[in-house]
């Protein structure tokens, strides 16, 4: 994300400007940040997930949104563009460009956003009382990480690799395979790590 040099905006001003903008911006407590583009790997993984989830949810009151719908985090005065979100809440039908009650959020990781997706963004997402699962999908290795909120409100972590078998999204009762998620994907090269 790249900060835009603008005065502090109200959420209403941000939404009005965003509706007219040719590029997407996320909003964090009055500041707007331009979003970087994605890679074909990122896009293919996100589209595969959206297709699998949409097919599973067909005929239900739940909806999956892909790339261009914002999640509003009122308690943190933020609007983010998750790669995918699922909401089953009837009030989310009242807003066409953002949703307030997601039960599942998925982020496909990239070098430029991974630290933010794992850190401050996840911290903000945790304030959404409706959120049951937060999923991080790796673009360098076939690995899925899922954070699930338990009945006590604590977030439990589970990591899946190809040896773990299928991936279960408990929030929407969907079991997926690695083959389905990573279909037609060429994994990105991992950055070399320095040994000291």
**Percent of the chain whose predicted confidence (pLDDT) is above 70:** 93
Residues 2 and 93 in one domain: no
19-23 contacts: CB < 8 A, separation 24 or more? 19/97
Give φ, ψ of 78 to 5 degrees: -135, 155
Q: Give the Cα separation of 46 and 158 in Å (integer).
A: 20
Residues 39, 97, 29: CA angle, nearest 5 degrees: 85
Which of the residue ranges 38-47, 131-140, 185-194 would you say has the lowest mean pLDDT?
Answer: 185-194
* Residue at 195 is within a domain: no
pLDDT value at residue 189 = 76
Summarised one tens digit per residue, pLDDT across range 27-57 is 999 999 999 888 999 999 999 999 999 999 9
Residues 108 and 122 in one domain: yes
Summarised one tens digit per residue, pLDDT across range 60-114 is 999 999 989 999 999 999 999 999 999 999 999 999 999 999 999 999 999 888 9
pLDDT value at residue 2 = 46
Residues 147 and 87 in one domain: yes
The residue range of the domain holding 58 is: 38-181
CB atoms near residue 43 (< 10 Å): 15
Residues 29 and 83 in one domain: no
196 — pLDDT class (breaks 50, 70, 90): very low
First to last CA, the chain: 30
116-120 contacts: CB < 8 A, separation 24 or more? 116/1
* Residue at 161 is within a domain: yes
pLDDT value at residue 111 = 87
pLDDT at 4 over 80: no
* Residue at 127 is within a domain: yes
Residues 149 and 177 in one domain: yes
CATH number of residue 92's parent domain: 3.90.1570.10
Give pTM, 2 decimals.
0.91
* Residue at 190 is within a domain: no
Residues 20 and 45 in one domain: no
Residues 130 and 177 in one domain: yes
Evaluate whether 80 touches 18 at the Cβ level (below 8 Å).
no
Evaluate whether 151 touches 121 at the Cβ level (below 8 Å).
no
């Amino acid at each position: 994300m790249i900060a835009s040099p603008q005065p502090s905006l109200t959420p209403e001003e941000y939404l009005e400007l965003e509706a007219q903008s040719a590029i997407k911006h996320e909003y964090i407590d009055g500041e707007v940040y331009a979003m970087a583009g994605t890679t074909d790997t990122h896009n293919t993984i996100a589209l595969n997930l959206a297709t699998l989830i949409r097919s599973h949810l067909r005929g239900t009151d739940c909806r999956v949104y892909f790339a261009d719908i914002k999640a509003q985090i009122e308690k943190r005065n933020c609007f983010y563009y998750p790669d995918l979100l699922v909401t089953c809440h009837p009030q989310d039908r009242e807003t066409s460009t953002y949703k307030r009650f997601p039960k599942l959020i998925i982020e496909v990781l990239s070098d430029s956003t991974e630290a933010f997706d794992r850190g401050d963004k996840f911290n903000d997402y945790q304030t959404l009382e409706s959120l049951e699962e937060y999923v991080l999908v790796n673009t360098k290795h076939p690995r899925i990480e899922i954070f699930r909120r338990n009945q006590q409100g604590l977030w439990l972590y589970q990591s899946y690799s190809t040896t773990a078998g299928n991936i279960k999204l408990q929030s929407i009762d969907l079991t997926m395979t690695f083959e389905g998620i990573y279909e037609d994907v060429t994994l990105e090269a991992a950055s070399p790590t320095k040994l000291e």
